Every structure is written in C-alpha cells, then in structure tokens.
C-alpha cells in the first residue's frame, strides 16, 4: 500500500522580506495506491516546489505530508529517502560520477540503510545488475564497469531511473526526467517508466510539459496554476480530455 496525503499545504519563501512569495496555496491532495499522476502547469506554477515538499528538501510553512498514514512533515529528506525516490531533469543529479555504474546500483539497492563497507559485496550482485540492465535502452548493460561521469546523458538518466526503482519505493517522483534528452532517448525512457510503474504498481508523480505525454501516460492528470490545483482528473473524465482542453487551463 502507498497512499500519499497532502493536507492544507502552504509554502511561502523569504518570509518577512520584500522577496516574500507565496508559492503553494492550501494544497489538499490524496494519491491512492498505484496512482500514476502526470503533473502539468506553467513555469513557476509550483510543481517542483510541490515535489520538494513531498521529498522533504523543503518544509511547508503550514500543513502536513502523510505517507501510508505516517506523518512525515517533520522527517528529514534522508529519512524520507527510504520510501521516496526521485529522478530529476538534470542527468548529473542522483548518480555519483566517480563511481562505476555497478557501484551506483549497489548503493541504490541499499537506499535508506546505513552505508558501510558494502561495496565489497559488489561481485555477488553483478549477475543481478547484468540482468536488470539487459532490458534497458542505451546499452547500459555494457557499461557496468564504466565510471558514471563517462556516460552519455541518456545512459546516465536511464541509470538514475533504475537506481530510483531497483529497490521498490513507496513513492516515485519524476521532475521532467526526460526533458534534457533527445527525442528517441526521451521516448524510450518514458516507455520504460510506464512499464516499470505498471509492473511494480508504483504510486508516482511525473512532471511534464508535454501535453500528449500527460494524457498518454498515467491514470490521473493534475494541473497546478499559481500554487493551486485547478484540475485533477482520472478515469472517464480524463479519457475525454484532449490536448486542446488542457491548453484552456494554461490561458491567462
């Protein structure tokens, strides 16, 4: 089970200065187990901030974050990493460049645990990593002993995705994770994402600016505008939506 609840989330930054800005306004949202949400909104709408509130890198000014009824609001980002995995837009984030692909994968299998001398056990895991990467695009399976800093952006992003999901997270957050990739690489990572989210029955939020992808992938679409949810649809109501319908929500 993986149920995410956001209760009355408000986020204001630079409080008391003339830079004060209210980013998220009274967000109430419940994600049911297995919901795969595509999250849309104009630049600056607050999408990344919302993910930051969920992953714990930013504390809300008020409100609560609950995962499976456990109140995480005051839990650190490190503690939440045990349950919540994220892939960012920048392929350089989320992987260690001076370690090999296999070493990065080993760290990912231990997500949320204390890090000790675990790298010694690398050999034992190589067959598993070979198998895990053999189905992936970008020839990552031939790069297991390559330093991550020497991978292409597409390979590195595929690795980031595998690291986020190799140990099943309760919640997967994707912040425009294919936006920096060429069209073909982006497509194969999106297809892989869809496949893994369905197979592992993950609860997932994926930020995208591609309207077609927002409707094609997932089971639920949410639009954020000036820090508020202005559309939240799933099921038949969502099936009826066209890209043009969605565009209306972007009009000023």
Ligand X SMILES: Nc1ncnc2c1ncn2[C@@H]1O[C@H](COP(=O)(O)OP(=O)(O)OP(=O)(O)O)[C@@H](O)[C@H]1O
Which of residues 2, 38, 49, 86 is near ligand X by CB under 6 A?
49
- Long-range CB pairs of 225-228 (<8 Å, 24+ gap) are 225/41, 225/42, 225/45, 225/249, 226/25, 226/45, 226/46, 227/11, 227/22, 227/23, 227/24, 227/25, 227/27, 227/45, 227/46, 227/49, 228/25, 228/26, 228/27
Check binding of 154 to ligand X (CB under 6 A): no
CA distances from 57 to 13, 32, 117, 119, 165 (A): 13, 23, 27, 27, 20
Could you tell me which stretch among 40-48, 61-69, 91-99, 196-204 binds ligand X (CB under 6 A)?
40-48
60-119 positions binding ligand X, by CB under 6 A: none
Which of residues 27, 31, 46, 53 is near ligand X by CB under 6 A?
46
Q: Which is nearer to ligand X, 28 or 135 (CB)?
A: 28
Check binding of 47 to ligand X (CB under 6 A): yes
How far is the C-alpha of 238 from the C-alpha of 221, rounded, in Å? 7
Check binding of 197 to ligand X (CB under 6 A): no
Which of residues 6, 27, 31, 48 is near ligand X by CB under 6 A?
48
- In angstroms, give the least distance from the CB of 37 to ligand X: 14
- In angstroms, give the least distance from the CB of 21 to ligand X: 5
Could you tell me which stretch among 42-50, 108-116, 228-236, 239-247 binds ligand X (CB under 6 A)?
42-50
Which of residues 6, 9, 23, 246 is near ligand X by CB under 6 A?
23
Check binding of 41 to ligand X (CB under 6 A): yes
Check binding of 205 to ligand X (CB under 6 A): no
Question: Other CB atoms closer than 10 Å to residue 152's CB: what's the count?
Answer: 16
List of residues 6+ apart from 121 with CB closer than 8 A: 106
Check binding of 221 to ligand X (CB under 6 A): no
CA distances from 66 to 23, 47, 214, 243 (A): 20, 18, 25, 32
Binding positions for ligand X, rule: CB under 6 A: 13-14, 21, 23, 41, 43-49
């Amino acid at each position: 089970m993986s149920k995410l609840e956001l209760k009355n989330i408000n986020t204001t930054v630079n409080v008391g200065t003339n830079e004060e800005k209210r980013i998220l306004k009274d967000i109430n949202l419940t994600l049911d187990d297995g919901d795969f949400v595509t999250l849309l909104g104009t630049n600056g709408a607050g999408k990344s901030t919302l993910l930051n509130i969920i992953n714990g890198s930013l504390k809300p000014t008020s409100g609560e974050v609950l995962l499976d009824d456990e109140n995480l609001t005051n839990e650190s980002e490190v503690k939440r990493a045990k349950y919540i995995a994220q892939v960012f837009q920048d392929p350089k984030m989320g992987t260690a460049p001076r370690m090999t692909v296999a070493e990065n994968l080993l760290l990912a299998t231990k997500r949320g645990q204390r890090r000790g001398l675990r790298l010694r056990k690398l050999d034992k895991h190589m067959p598993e990593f070979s198998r895990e990467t053999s189905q992936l695009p970008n020839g990552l399976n031939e790069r297991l002993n390559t330093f991550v800093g020497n991978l292409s952006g597409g390979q590195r992003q595929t690795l980031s995705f595998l690291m986020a999901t190799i140990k099943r997270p309760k919640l997967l957050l994707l912040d425009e994770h294919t936006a920096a990739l060429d069209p073909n690489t982006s497509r194969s990572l999106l297809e892989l994402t869809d496949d893994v989210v369905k197979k592992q029955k993950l609860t997932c939020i994926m930020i995208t600016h591609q309207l077609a992808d927002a409707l094609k992938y997932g089971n639920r679409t949410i639009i954020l505008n000036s820090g508020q949810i202005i559309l939240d649809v799933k099921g038949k109501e969502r099936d009826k939506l066209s890209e043009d319908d969605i565009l209306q929500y972007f009009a000023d």
